[in-house]
Amino acid sequence: MSILFSPLQIRDIVFRNRLWVSPMCQYSAVDGMPQEWHHVHLAQFASGGAGLVMAEATAVLPEGRISPEDTGIYSDAHRDAWAPIAAAIRARGAVPGIQLAHAGRKASTWRPFDPRSGSVPIADGGWPTVAPSAIAYDGFATPRALDADGIDEIVAAFGAAAQRAVAAGFAVLEVHGAHGYLLHQFLSPLSNRRHDEYGGSLENRARLLLRVVDAVRAAAPDAAVLVRLSATDAADDGWDVADTVHVARMAAQHGADMFDISSGGLVAHQRITVGPGYQVGYAARVRREAGVAVSAVGMIDDAAQAEQILAAGNADAIMAGREWLRDPHFALRAAGELGVDIDYWPAQYLRARPRR
Ligand SMILES: Cc1cc2nc3c(=O)[nH]c(=O)nc-3n(C[C@H](O)[C@H](O)[C@H](O)COP(=O)(O)O)c2cc1C
């Protein structure tokens, strides 16, 4: 009996298994609009047996894009461009999800496969960035500190984006609160030096995230709302696991259904040692201490390893990123490796199914 290949239900949404596609930016949008690349890229994982296919960090405002080639969902035209992609994922048996994001001080940067690095100058199509405080990420342009109206605009933008995402057909909405982007910048004392009700105490630093969760939940009452959190900044005096547990507990009370536990991204001088399953311990701790559902992510590349994480009670689902890029049919292969019979091999591919 495989836990990895047993269904999971959140609200009325049933996932056929617990091997999920982690959000991965493709840096290939035009004016925030997803392209044919995104359609093929995301649909193939659904054909490959994923339980959830999560579309990449998608900006709720144009200035919230990491790079000028990031996807967005800040207009109804974006909603309409996403709709056939969500439908293609659903038609192949996976649940369509989308990560809603604002990059804050890490916005307006060159995409990773551009030879240039750092901030995109305004003259080259970049834009001024915003953050809790006017403190730059190492090597990037200095952001402007948001005022109260700017914060309200961001909360409203997350709500509007959630509404569009549901209208486009997405059933899972993930609030990107990790990797040093805007919501994480508010959470961490290293990037948030505010003296108003959004800075200082943990409750104050979490206020924006909780307002965003409220806005998303209100706009999408039936959606599964996930929150991705970095469990630690891995830097002196930074955000840590105990803070993550505390905020996960609060966000659950505000209507978040599950927490996707990652790490890092806030400062360039972070110290993280990567290796197989290197973030699982964080997910396990949040699950146990906050009493919430979690997904584990980070170098979980193997069926037996994924199964063991779930069997040990360390997570409720597995997010994988790069392994899906190496093998878009990861779940079909994983089921074979675990000896599990699944009834969603695409009929067109059945002649390739390994014999048992
Ligand atoms: C090409 C690429 C793009 C990524 N884009 C995002 C993103 O949009 N949002 C996010 O939260 N994480 C992003 N990540 C991180 C992945 O979701 C995942 O957490 C990370 O790659 C670790 O998992 P893995 O070892 O299974 O790849 C990205 C990773 C890769 C490789």
Distances (CA, A) of 190 to 137, 151, 185, 222: 10, 19, 8, 35
Which residues, judged by CB distance below 6 Å to any ligand atom, belong to the binding site of ligand 1?
22-25, 56-57, 99, 176, 178-179, 228, 262, 297-300, 320-323
Tell which residue, 174, 184, 144, 146, has the closest CA to residue 270: 184
Judged against a pLDDT cut of 90, whether residue 76 lies above it is answered with yes
Q: Which residues contact 40 (CB under 8 A, 6 or more apart)?
A: none
Nearest CA to ligand 1 atom 1: 24
Judged against a pLDDT cut of 80, whether residue 356 lies above it is answered with no
Q: Are 221 and 202 in contact (CB under 8 A)?
A: no
Judged against a pLDDT cut of 90, whether residue 190 lies above it is answered with yes
Give the pLDDT confidence of 242-276 residue by residue, as tens digits: 999 999 999 999 999 999 999 999 999 999 999 99
Nearest CA to ligand 1 atom 10: 23
The number of the ligand 1 atom at minimal distance from the alpha carbon of 279 is 22
| pLDDT value, residue 199 | 98
The number of the ligand 1 atom at minimal distance from the alpha carbon of 56 is 8
- 295 - beta bridge partners? 260, 317
Give the pLDDT confidence of 276-324 residue by residue, as tens digits: 999 999 999 999 999 999 999 999 999 999 999 999 999 999 999 999 9
Give the pLDDT confidence of 42-54 residue by residue, as tens digits: 999 999 999 999 9
Nearest CA to ligand 1 atom 5: 24
Identify the three-state secondary structure at position 320: strand
Q: Provide the pLDDT confidence category of residue 355 given band limits of 50, 70 and 90.
A: confident
Characterize 297-307 residue by residue with b for buried, 16 or more Cβ atoms within 10 angstroms of its Cβ, and e for exposed: bbbbbbbebbb
Tell me the C-alpha distance between 94 and 225, whole Å. 16
Mean pLDDT across 72-91: 99
Residue 261: CB atoms within 10 A of its CB come to 30
| pLDDT value, residue 262 | 98
Mutating to test ligand 1, I would choose from 19, 20, 22, 324 the residue with most ligand atoms within 8 A of its C-beta, which is: 22
Q: Which residue has the tokens 């953050």?
A: 131
Q: Tell me the average pLDDT of the chain.
A: 98
Just list the catalytic residues.
Answer: 181
Using the mean position of ligand 1's atoms as its centre, give its distance from the Cα of residue 22 in Å. Answer: 6
Nearest CA to ligand 1 atom 30: 24
Q: Which residue has the tokens 């690349």?
A: 37
Mutating to test ligand 1, I would choose from 25, 52, 228, 261 the residue with most ligand atoms within 8 A of its C-beta, which is: 25
Tell me the C-alpha distance between 181 and 70, whole Å. 14
What string of DSSP letters covers 172-197? EEEEEE-TTSHHHHHH-TTT----ST
Give the pLDDT confidence of 132-141 residue by residue, as tens digits: 999 999 999 9
Tell which residue, 275, 325, 285, has the closest CA to residue 305: 275
Distances (CA, A) of 84 to 42, 244, 303: 11, 35, 30
Q: Which residues contact 232 (CB under 8 A, 6 or more apart)?
A: 238, 239, 240, 241, 244, 263, 264, 282
Q: Are 32 and 98 in contact (CB under 8 A)?
A: no
Measured in degrees and rounded to the nearest 5, phi and psi for residue 72 equal -140, 170
Mean pLDDT across 72-88: 99
Mutating to test ligand 1, I would choose from 21, 24, 66 the residue with most ligand atoms within 8 A of its C-beta, which is: 24
Alpha-carbon Rg for the chain, nearest whole angstrom, is 19
Mean pLDDT across 154-164: 99
| pLDDT value, residue 354 | 86
CATH architecture for residues 8-352: Alpha-Beta Barrel (3.20)
Tell me the C-alpha distance between 305 and 311, whole Å. 10
End-to-end CA separation in angstroms for the chain: 16
DSSP code for 143: P
Tell me the C-alpha distance between 294 and 313, whole Å. 10
Using the mean position of ligand 1's atoms as its centre, give its distance from the Cα of residue 57 in Å. Answer: 9
Tell me the C-alpha distance between 235 and 160, whole Å. 34
Using the mean position of ligand 1's atoms as its centre, give its distance from the Cα of residue 70 in Å. Answer: 14
The number of the ligand 1 atom at minimal distance from the alpha carbon of 66 is 8
Tell me the C-alpha distance between 68 and 46, whole Å. 27
Give the pLDDT confidence of 204-229 residue by residue, as tens digits: 999 999 999 999 999 999 999 999 99
Distances (CA, A) of 143 to 42, 136, 186, 265, 271: 33, 6, 13, 17, 24
Judged against a pLDDT cut of 90, whether residue 58 lies above it is answered with yes
Q: Are 45 and 19 in contact (CB under 8 A)?
A: no
Tell me the C-alpha distance between 311 and 90, whole Å. 28
Tell me the C-alpha distance between 105 and 136, whole Å. 7
Tell me the C-alpha distance between 226 and 20, whole Å. 13
Identify the three-state secondary structure at position 151: helix
Give the pLDDT confidence of 336-345 residue by residue, as tens digits: 999 999 999 9
